Amino acid sequence: MIKLYGMGLSFNVSKVRYCLNYLNLKYDWVQTNPIAGENKSPEFTSISPTGKIPAIEIDGLKLFESNAINRYLAATNNSPIYPQDAKKRALVEAWMDYVAIHVAHALGRVLFNRVFAPMTGQTVDQESIKVGLEFLDKYFPILEKQLSQNPYLAGKEFTLADINLLSVLDPCELSQISIDRYPSLKKWRNNLKAQPFYQKCYKDYSQFVQDAMSTKAGK
């Protein structure tokens, strides 16, 4: 049995859930909330030495880092979303890295300071927001160009690179980040959000987070 540790607010956790759902793999969802310190227990750090979510237990393997988890899941299930051909796999890896290193980092600056810092009473860094938005203005056009020429991020086939980007873009609305200027990117995103692997998690990430925050505030 697969055990996935994490919380629904984390788009990195969502990334793994999308992959599990796409591969039709059953898993136990073990709610682990870092905000409440549940990631600091010896039990959890024995699975994820960094104390970060997501983490997973599968077939005796304890694994952390969302991209590593998804690569393992796809590879061990011989899924074409992580191609065996070296050249095709390299393209998927390149776009996965581009999203993780550049897009996610820039968007994360905005998300933290516009959403999570106010929620947790931390100082909002306006300069960090400015820098994040400036970087996104550079990174989004590259995605737009790629998706205007291909149906999916790494080419003609749906891959882990698409799962990567889809999860990273989930907080856009909450972060007041618009992709309306990028029609190909927007069309690609809307198409994937309508797919069963996404809908099994939630109808829409932003609404899910707003509902969760409202529930917490009402307690």
Q: What is the DSSP code string of the chain?
A: -EEEEE-TT-HHHHHHHHHHHHTT--EEEEE--GGGTTTSSHHHHTT-TT-PSPEEEETTEEEESHHHHHHHHHHHTT-TTS-SSHHHHHHHHHHHHHIIIIIHHHHHHHHIIIIIHHHHTPPP-HHHHHHHHHHHHHHHHHHHHHHHH-SBTTBSS--HHHHHHHHHHTTTTTTT---TT-HHHHHHHHHHHTSHHHHTT-S-HHHHHHHHHHHHHH-
- For the stretch 12-22, pLDDT in tens is 999 999 999 99
pTM: 0.93
**What structural domains does the chain harbor?**
2-76 (3.40.30.10), 86-195 (1.20.1050.10)
- For the stretch 73-96, pLDDT in tens is 999 999 999 999 999 999 999 999
